[in-house]
């Protein structure tokens, strides 16, 4: 049975996997990364080896080591370390799930297999269940990201009766813009203690309105503090402030999306904002261009999103 742990809530940073210029994982800065998230961004939960962490581009041995480093460095500092263990091979997923349990992670998450795809709910549940039983004591989260997996089985359908099949099921990370599906996940399961984690950072406020209990995202690495203002305003029912903060974040995300925004660019932005070198991504991703980084930096500065924005006169769009 799942341990009735403290519920995963609030912001969860989808961690980047720091790499050196020659493409090896730079484990040595993960400790610093933990401190940065906690102290500078007010973010105390992490989601490791997911999309942002290039989890599917790492070897199984690398994924184990990255997970271990986050758990070790996060001890007594982070509230929860959730490890993404999704893989195309059921065996690999099970191995990673079991490993997450052994090292003392707080939960596991998994995307749908995306090469041979499950075409209906029952097949997907069967796959998920086989992974969950490899770590029955760990809270289990389904990571719904249809745009990347191509598996479009609605989350609301998947959740219907899921605890009968997967007793450790604890929640959902919902990375899609279908608010009918998300809202119905919340509505139909409100009596259960699930975590409903919204995964589209630029639309977080609409997720909160639909009942999200928290959020997992890449931008919380460097906009955690700003995003916490949305959560706080929402909590005190100050919706006009919440919307103002959301619009402010949207201005930034909208700007970078138009330039071409993904994990490589997130690594460049995080390096810029935190000063911690995240390094290049791994192929097939390509390092962000100098032009991207310069333009993103200027935008961050004009929104007053840089910690060392000494050029206050440049902050024409600052939102707070």
Please identify every residue annotated as catalytic.
143, 173
Q: Is 66 annotated as a binding residue?
A: no
| Number of neighbours of residue 123 by Cβ within 10 angstroms | 15
Tell me if 47 contacts ligand PYR by CB under 6 A: yes
184: tokens are 């119905």
- Map tokens 């390094």 to a residue: 279
Q: How far apart are CA 31 and CA 73, in angstroms?
A: 5
The dihedral over CA atoms of 252, 44, 38, 309, expressed in degrees to the nearest 10, equals: 10
Rounded to the nearest angstrom, the gap between the alpha carbon of residue 241 and the centroid of all alpha carbons in its chain is 24
Q: How far apart are CA 199 and CA 144, in angstroms?
A: 9
Q: How far apart are CA 175 and CA 182, in angstroms?
A: 10
User: Which of the stretches 101-109, 119-127, 128-136, 217-225 binds ligand MN9 when contact is defined by CB under 6 A?
Assistant: 217-225
In the set 17, 41, 45, 51, which binds ligand PYR (CB under 6 A)?
A: 51
Binding partner of residue 47 among ligand MN9, ligand PYR, none, CB cut-off 5 to 8 Å per kind: ligand PYR
User: Which of the stretches 24-32, 73-81, 105-113, 211-219 binds ligand MN9 when contact is defined by CB under 6 A?
Assistant: 211-219
Site string for ligand MN9, 19-58 (x = CB under 6 A): --------------------------------xx------
User: Strand 80-84 vs strand 45-48: parallel, antiparallel, or unpaired?
Assistant: parallel
- Map tokens 């192929």 to a residue: 283
Distances in Å between the alpha carbon of 133 and those of 90, 112, 127, 158, 172? Answer: 12, 16, 10, 18, 18
Considering the complex, state which of residue 15 and residue 73 has its C-beta at the smaller distance from ligand MN9.
Answer: 15
Q: How far apart are CA 19 and CA 248, in angstroms?
A: 30
Tell me if 14 contacts ligand MN9 by CB under 6 A: yes
Kindly state the smallest distance separating residue 199's Cβ from ligand MN9, in Å: 3
Tell me if 175 contacts ligand MN9 by CB under 6 A: yes
Kindly state the smallest distance separating residue 218's Cβ from ligand PYR, in Å: 5
The runs of H, that is alpha helices, within 135-174 are: 146-149, 155-159, 162-165
User: Which of the stretches 90-98, 109-117, 213-221, 280-288 binds ligand MN9 when contact is defined by CB under 6 A?
Assistant: 213-221
Kindly state the smallest distance separating residue 8's Cβ from ligand PYR, in Å: 13
Q: Is 216 annotated as a binding residue?
A: yes
The angle that helices 263-274 and 239-259 make with each other, rounded to 10 degrees, is 120
Kindly state the smallest distance separating residue 164's Cβ from ligand PYR, in Å: 27
Cβ–Cβ < 8 Å for 140, 169: yes
Task: Give the chain's end-to-end CA distance (angstroms, integer).
Answer: 45
Q: How far apart are CA 225 and CA 231, in angstroms?
A: 10
Kindly state the smallest distance separating residue 185's Cβ from ligand MN9, in Å: 16
Kindly state the smallest distance separating residue 121's Cβ from ligand MN9, in Å: 22
Q: How far apart are CA 260 and CA 272, in angstroms?
A: 17
Tell me if 218 contacts ligand MN9 by CB under 6 A: yes
Using CB under 6 A as the binding rule, the residues of this chain from 189 to 208 that contact ligand MN9 are: 199-202
Site string for ligand PYR, 204-233 (x = CB under 6 A): ------------xxx---------------
Q: List interacting residues with ligand MN9 (CB under 6 A).
A: 14, 51-52, 175, 199-202, 217-219, 253
- Feature table: binding site: 52, 216
- Feature table: binding site for pyruvate: 52, 216
Q: List interacting residues with ligand PYR (CB under 6 A).
A: 14, 47, 50-52, 199, 216-218
């Amino acid at each position: 049975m799942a341990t009735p742990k403290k519920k995963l809530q609030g912001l969860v940073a989808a961690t980047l996997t720091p790499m050196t210029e020659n493409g090896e994982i730079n484990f040595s800065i993960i400790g610093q990364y933990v401190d940065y998230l906690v102290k500078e961004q007010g973010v105390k939960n992490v989601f490791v080896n997911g999309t942002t962490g290039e989890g599917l581009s790492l070897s199984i041995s690398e994924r184990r080591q990255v997970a271990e480093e986050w758990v070790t460095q996060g001890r007594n500092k982070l509230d929860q370390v959730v490890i993404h263990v999704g893989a195309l091979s059921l065996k690999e997923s099970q191995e990673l799930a079991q490993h997450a349990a052994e090292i003392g992670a707080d939960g596991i998450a998994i995307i749908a297999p995306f090469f041979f795809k499950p075409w209906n709910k029952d097949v997907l549940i069967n796959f998920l269940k086989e992974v969950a039983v490899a770590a029955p004591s760990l809270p289990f989260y389904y990571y719904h990201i249809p745009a990347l997996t191509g598996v479009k089985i609605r989350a609301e359908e998947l959740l219907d009766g899921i605890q009968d099949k997967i007793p450790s099921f604890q929640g959902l990370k919902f990375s899609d813009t279908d608010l009918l599906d998300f809202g119905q996940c919340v509505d139909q399961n409100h009596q259960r203690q699930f975590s409903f984690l919204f995964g589209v950072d630029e639309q977080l406020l609409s997720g909160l309105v639909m009942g999200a209990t928290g959020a997992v995202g890449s931008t919380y690495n460097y906009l955690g503090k700003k995003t916490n203002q949305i959560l706080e305003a929402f909590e005190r029912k100050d919706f006009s402030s919440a919307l103002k903060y959301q619009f402010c974040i949207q201005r930034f995300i909208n700007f970078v999306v138009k330039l071409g925004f993904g994990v490589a660019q997130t690594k460049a932005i995080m390096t810029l904002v935190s000063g911690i070198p995240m390094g290049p991504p791994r192929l097939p991703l390509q390092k962000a261009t100098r032009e991207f980084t310069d333009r993103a930096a200027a935008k961050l500065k004009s929104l007053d999103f840089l910690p060392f924005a000494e050029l206050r006169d440049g902050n024409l769009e600052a939102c707070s």
